Amino acid sequence: MIKILFAASEAHPLVKTGGLGDVAGSLPAALRRLHQDVRLILPAYRSILERLPDAAVTAQFEVPGAPDTVRLRQATLADDGVPVYLVDVPALFDRPGGPYSDPQGREWYDNALRFATYCRAVVQVATNHAGLDWAPDVVHCNDWQSGLVPPLLMREPRRPATVFTIHNLAYQGVFTWDTFQYLRLPADLWSMHALEFYGGFSFIKGGLVFSDRLTTVSPTYAREICTPEFGAGLDGVLRSRADRLEGILNGVDYRVWDPARDTLIPHRYTARAMQGKQQNKVALQKRMDLAMGPRTPLFGHVGRMVEQKGIDLIIDALPALMEEDLQIVILGSGDPRLERELQDAAARWVGRLGVHIGYDEALAHLVEAGSDAFLMPSRFEPCGLNQLYSLRYGTIPIVRRTGGLADTVVDADAETLRSGAATGFVFDEAAPAPLVAAVARAAEHYRNPPVWRDLIGNAMRQDFSWRRSAQAYLALYRRL
């Protein structure tokens, strides 16, 4: 049995802003089902403490730079029994708003101090200095918020092995020299071979340089981030560590995302009994004020409204798309300019384009269940989860050939349709015209029911369960 401390800044269902939350909620549970001793460690945000009012203090210690004593609280993740440690420093984490930004959506001014303190607390636990009488074999860090853990652990005489997973290289935690000093980080970490990054310093670089092993969330993204186009300034660092870097696809929590047992959708269905899907389509059309049309192909999209996701490509493609006989629903929030453009577009194409600005878990499930196809024209996509959900919901994904999208969706052509491998529609260039062409191709197949039924069957048969991914991580831990 391997002892794993899993460090992440969000974990479903306690707190989630995106894919990292899904992974940190599911992977530890999957490892536990493989009989490993895995424990999660998160910042004790107010929203988490409200959900876990009984999380008792199990340890107390000081870390440099923190405004207060760190209290470590302990709880258990509801269904799965995964122990959770909460790093409680009220001055840093007991506030309204999200994990990274205030209620107005502005990044917290003291994020460097918040996550440096979190990292230092993780190091205390990892080195068994927190008084828990538990010493992990492996610390598994995730994204920039835990990026200082590996460099700080390197300085410890006895330390566990470290794994660092990149969920999205675009978010790096870059701060200034003044902040570096204010955080009282060890002076020798200010070096181009350590944290220094173009005159500032970068949390994520600490993870990339000092971890024993690096992973990211798909094989294609692992290759892409070693190139200048996708490397976000860190491709050189990653190329120098390419022998330590591998891609492991994320899994899907099929207890939450499966139309046969989804409790958030009005009508459940399976590959054999698909009537429910048609009923969900009606429910979705009603909910989004679309014209009723059982035979009009309905294309869904859910995601953060940022350029990464190619939502601007969808917006630019709308005039051409709306020429076709189809409907589109879009759920998301993010860049206020993109939100406004979409709302304007919805006012222009009433009854054909439905837009909901906001974060709505239940509606996300209904979009997956009620749409015929799902749009994911991402410019880059480390893994992507919605296309995996779409496959399981028989909602044919239309994706750009990048990152995890390239690894999980098989384009429908004569050959793949014949062999039963086809699961979606894939296009290459990040521009509106190729997206429109892919949608037109999907709409054409949709009008051929036997072919569309085959596609749905192929999609719903795909297995992206966590068990597989967890086994790959376990093999990696064992190699350490």
CB of 408 to ligand ADP, least distance (A): 11
**Cα atoms found within 13 Å of the Cα of residue 155, Cβ hemisphere only:** 14
- Cα-Cα-Cα-Cα dihedral sign, residues 251, 255, 257, 261: positive
Distance CA 419, CA 408 (A): 17
Q: Binders of ligand ADP: how many residues, by CB under 6 A?
A: 18
Among the listed ranges 24-32, 192-200, 292-300, 302-310, the one in contact with ligand ADP (CB under 6 A) is: 302-310
User: What distances in angstroms separate CA 462 from CA 355, 392, 427, 438, one per listed residue?
Assistant: 29, 7, 20, 22
CB of 11 to ligand ADP, least distance (A): 13
Q: Which residue is nearest to ligand ADP (CB)?
A: 19
Please give the distance of CA 190 from its chain centroid, rounded to a whole number.
Answer: 30
CB of 159 to ligand ADP, least distance (A): 30
CB of 65 to ligand ADP, least distance (A): 29
Q: Which residue of 8, 331, 345, 373 would you call a contact of ligand ADP, by CB under 6 A?
A: 331
Within a 10 A sphere around the Cβ of 144, how many other Cβ atoms? Answer: 25
In this structure, the chain runs to a length of 480
Within 113-152, which residues bind ligand ADP (CB under 6 A)?
Answer: none
Question: H or E element: which one contains 142?
Answer: strand 138-142
The site string for ligand ADP over 41-80 (x = CB under 6 A, - otherwise) reads: ----------------------------------------
CB of 315 to ligand ADP, least distance (A): 16
CB of 171 to ligand ADP, least distance (A): 10
Distance CA 432, CA 455 (A): 24
- Side chain identity, residue 324: E
CB of 22 to ligand ADP, least distance (A): 5
Cβ distance to ligand ADP smaller for residue 36 or 390: 390
Burial of residue 377 (number of CB atoms within 10 Å: 0-12, 13-18, 19+):
buried
Q: Which two tokens stand for residue 447?
A: 């009008």
Cβ distance to ligand ADP smaller for residue 138 or 234: 234
Q: Which residue of 47, 333, 462, 471 would you call a contact of ligand ADP, by CB under 6 A?
A: 333
CB of 265 to ligand ADP, least distance (A): 13
Cβ distance to ligand ADP smaller for residue 250 or 296: 250
Within 349-408, which residues bind ligand ADP (CB under 6 A)?
Answer: 359-361, 364, 383-386
The answer to whether residue 19 forms part of the interface with ligand ADP (CB under 6 A) is: yes
β-strands 174-175, 200-202 pairing: antiparallel
Q: What does the radius of gyration of the chain's CA atoms come to, in whole angstroms?
A: 23
- Residues 83, 14, 42: CA angle, nearest 5 degrees: 55
Cβ distance to ligand ADP smaller for residue 72 or 284: 284
Q: Which two tokens stand for residue 92?
A: 């840093």
Q: Which two tokens stand for residue 94?
A: 């007991």
CB of 90 to ligand ADP, least distance (A): 28
CB of 334 to ligand ADP, least distance (A): 8
Cβ distance to ligand ADP smaller for residue 369 or 443: 369
Distance CA 337, CA 301 (A): 18
Cβ distance to ligand ADP smaller for residue 201 or 221: 221
The site string for ligand ADP over 262-291 (x = CB under 6 A, - otherwise) reads: ------------------------------
355 strand-pairing partners: 330
The site string for ligand ADP over 158-187 (x = CB under 6 A, - otherwise) reads: ----------x-------------------
Q: Which residue of 332, 354, 377, 397 would you call a contact of ligand ADP, by CB under 6 A?
A: 332
β-strands 196-197, 200-202 pairing: antiparallel
Q: Which residue of 245, 302, 405, 438 would you call a contact of ligand ADP, by CB under 6 A?
A: 302
Q: Which two tokens stand for residue 395?
A: 């909602």
- Cα-Cα-Cα-Cα dihedral sign, residues 395, 399, 403, 408: positive
Cβ distance to ligand ADP smaller for residue 220 or 386: 386
Distance CA 180, CA 165 (A): 23
Q: Which residue of 51, 223, 268, 304 would you call a contact of ligand ADP, by CB under 6 A?
A: 304
Q: How many helices (H) and strands (E) does the chain have?
A: 19, 18
CB of 374 to ligand ADP, least distance (A): 11
- Cα-Cα-Cα-Cα dihedral sign, residues 455, 460, 461, 467: positive
Distance CA 422, CA 427 (A): 14
Q: Which residues bind ligand ADP (CB under 6 A)?
A: 18-19, 22, 168, 302-304, 331-333, 359-361, 364, 383-386
